Each structure stands twice: as structure tokens, then as C-alpha cells.
Amino acid sequence: MIIDLPSTTTSKVNKKLVELRETGGAVALGRVLTLAIITDDGAQAEEAIAAANEASREHPCRVVLIAKGARRAAARLDAQIRIGGDAGASEVIMLRLYGPLADEGASCLVPLLLPDAPVVAWWPYETPKVPAEDPIGRLAHRRITDAKSERNPVKALEHRAAVYADGDTDLAWTRLTSWRALLATALDLPPHEKVESATVTGRADSPSTTLLAAWLASALGVPVTRVRAQDGQGIVSVVLQRRSGQIVLERPNGQFATLTQPGQPDRRLTLHRRSIRDCLIEELRRLDPDEIYSQTLQALPKVEGGSAGASTSRRGTGSRTRTKTATAGKSAGRAGGKTTARTAAAAPAATSPVAGTGTTRSRRTAEPKPSRRGSTAAARSRSRAKNGEDTAGEQG
């Protein structure tokens, strides 16, 4: 059931909720929390409500969606109440705020909060600079953001680390749960060797890839490199280097992964990309601060750069090595040539190994042009020299 209340007030919305509760039998006291969703008006609002409705089947809650409309319009509050099949296991209240009211979401939210129930704030798209200092963020026990929706997801994570407060979390972190579980399970299997280094490969715009690399750096205390993948979606692979070999968890297609370990057969695992619904359900299970997420954010500076810089560095090193080798070869050639010239100049003309080089002989001894017989002998000497024979005695 959907009830529209155009140009209304929060007081009228509350009265309508009480009326529906008395006639329809919906009990608000059965809700375990209030989920406040803050977004712009439009298709984004409907997508957020759909995810919240699915999550409410595990966490019955009151969903209050605050949709910010045109700020140049006159001050107006349009409300919509959804219950029954249109609201899943929750009751949904949509508040569309226009004009000056667009910035007064907290004032409109307070009258609709469930008594003695925790509040969770979720920004599925645009996020305030400091969620904990936002008016709605101050009311919430947990604050859920999504770095994936930002223009620069990696920079958004760095900003999250700078302004982190207890209760903050991000769906980019929640998407890592399956990866973290599989990697932890792989390390529990023998041989129980220390990890020496790790490499995480993923799309350049994947904040989850960066967070996974930071988590490994924080948990293992080893060098971790983040490599940019050209193909694939999100996280593509993780390589853990140990003395006995590599542990490789690779997901090239975003659905199935392959786990490779030394001395173990390859295992094919289901590793789908998690939906917003699944991530939201997981985040609503806990209301206490996520200490592991906090430690992971602080470990972001420990992650080394992506593949572009690394590849450039390798190519540059190879070019410099080849250049140095070629230069050394040329220098050696020049040095060898000079040594040969000096040796030839110092040696007597009779013992100079210059068979067939009449120019050098005429310059040193001023001998007359050799006869036809001498030319034939010289030709034979050159032929024998090509075959690797020692012709010094015959020339003498």
C-alpha cells in the first residue's frame, strides 16, 4: 500500500502512521532500528529503497528516505508512506524536501525516529565530507558510505581515513568479506610458512582492491603491491608469496575464482560480486565500531603503487641496462682497436700478423709490391686463417 501526502508536515505524517497502525495492524515496536537513507530525488531514491526493502527481510526496520529536491523551489515537504508488500518487512517513509528544507533533513527525521531504537544512516551516493559531523550523522550509531560512487574512489578512501570516527564504515569494505575469508582459510592450511610479500590486482577505480591490499599490509606486516588490471571487474587476483611457492586466488570473470596452492589441487570457488543488498544486510548486523576497518584505513599509506609505475620502472631499468651494455661494448671495441694498433706498431715488421694487408706493410717497411707468387701465398694464408689454422710460421 502506498499513501501520498503532498505538501504536508512531519506531524501529519506521524498521525497517518498511527492511523495505519490501528487499522492495518502494523506494529512499529517490532522494528529493530531506523534506517535513514540520504540521497537526491529521482531514480537513485528508488534504487536505494529497493535495496533497503530486501535488507529489511533480515532486519525489520523503519526506513526513512530523505530525498533532496530542487533548492530553488519553494519550501515544501512531500511525503509518501509505503507499507505491506510495497515495503518488504519494513515501513518506508519517503520525505521529498524542496527549497530551504532540502538542507534540513535532520529536523524532518527526528520526529519520525522509533523510540529507543538505534539509528543507522546510509549515503548510497553523495557523501558529506565528514559523515560523523553531519547533522544526520550525529544522530546515527552507524554511518554507511560507498566510496565506489565517488568520482575518485581511491582518494575518497584516503579522505575517509583522515576523518574516520567510531561507527563509520563503507560498502567497499563490506564487499571484501568473502575474499578475506578465503585468504584466511588458505593460510590456515599447511605448510604454515610466513608470507613474504603480497600482490593485489584489480581495476584502477576499484576501492575494494585498495582496501584489500591495505588489509593484507596491516594483518601480515609484509610489503604489498597494488597492480592495475586491464581486464576483469573489481578485484581480479591476490598472490601471497611464501618460501614454498605462491598462493594465488584469481577471479577473472567476476563470478568464479580459482585457488592455487603448492602441493594442493586447484580449487574452483564461487566468488560473485556482492550486491548492495547483501552488503547492507551485513552492515546492519552490527552497531559497534569496526576496529579492523579502522586499522585497514590507517594502513593505506603502506600499499605500494600500481602496475603502470612498476612497468615503467622495469622498462626504464632494462633500457638503461641495454644502453650501458652497448656503451661498454663500444668502449671495449675502441680499447681493443687501440691496443691492437699499439701492438702492431711496436712489433717488428717481419713478425707483424698482417698477411694480406699490404697497406700496413708498405707503410712500415716500404717494401715493393709483392709478386703474383707472393699474392698467391697470401691468399692461401687468409684461407687457412679462416679455417682456424696458425699461419704465423708460414708468413715468417
Domain spans of the chain?
A: 2-145, 177-274+287-305, 307-346, 348-386
CB atoms under 10 Å from CB of 216, counted, come to 27
Separate counts of helices (H) and strands (E) for the chain? 14, 15
Q: Which amino acid is at 25?
A: G
Give the pLDDT band (50/70/90) at residue 71.
Answer: confident
CB atoms under 10 Å from CB of 225, counted, come to 18
Of residues 25, 31, 30, 37, the one with CA closest to residue 1: 25
Whether the CB-CB separation of 129 and 64 falls below 8 Å is answered with no
pLDDT of 358: 39
Q: Is it the case that residue 394 has pLDDT exceeding 70? A: no
Least confident of 147-161, 184-198, 272-286, 346-360: 346-360
pLDDT of 42: 84
Whether the CB-CB separation of 120 and 141 falls below 8 Å is answered with yes
pLDDT of 309: 35
Least confident of 15-29, 232-246, 252-266: 15-29
Give the pLDDT band (50/70/90) at residue 182.
Answer: very high
Q: Hey, what's the torsion of the CAs at 27, 29, 35, 36, to 10 degrees?
A: 90
CB atoms under 10 Å from CB of 316, counted, come to 10
Of residues 212, 187, 190, the one with CA closest to residue 199: 212
Least confident of 80-94, 157-171, 303-317, 329-343: 329-343
Helix residue ranges per DSSP H, the chain:
10-24, 43-56, 105-109, 135-139, 153-162, 171-174, 177-188, 207-220, 276-283, 291-298, 307-346, 358-365, 372-386, 392-395
Pairing mode, if any, of strands 61-68 and 91-98? parallel
Which has more confidence, 383 or 394? 383
Q: Is it the case that residue 190 has pLDDT exceeding 90? A: no
Sheet holding 256-260, edge to edge: 267-270, 256-260, 245-250, 235-242, 197-202, 224-228, 303-304
pTM higher than the cut 0.95: no
The whole-number average pLDDT for the span 187-209 is 93
pLDDT of 369: 45
CB atoms under 10 Å from CB of 323, counted, come to 10
Helix residue ranges per DSSP H, 57-121:
105-109
Q: Is it the case that residue 362 has pLDDT exceeding 50? A: no
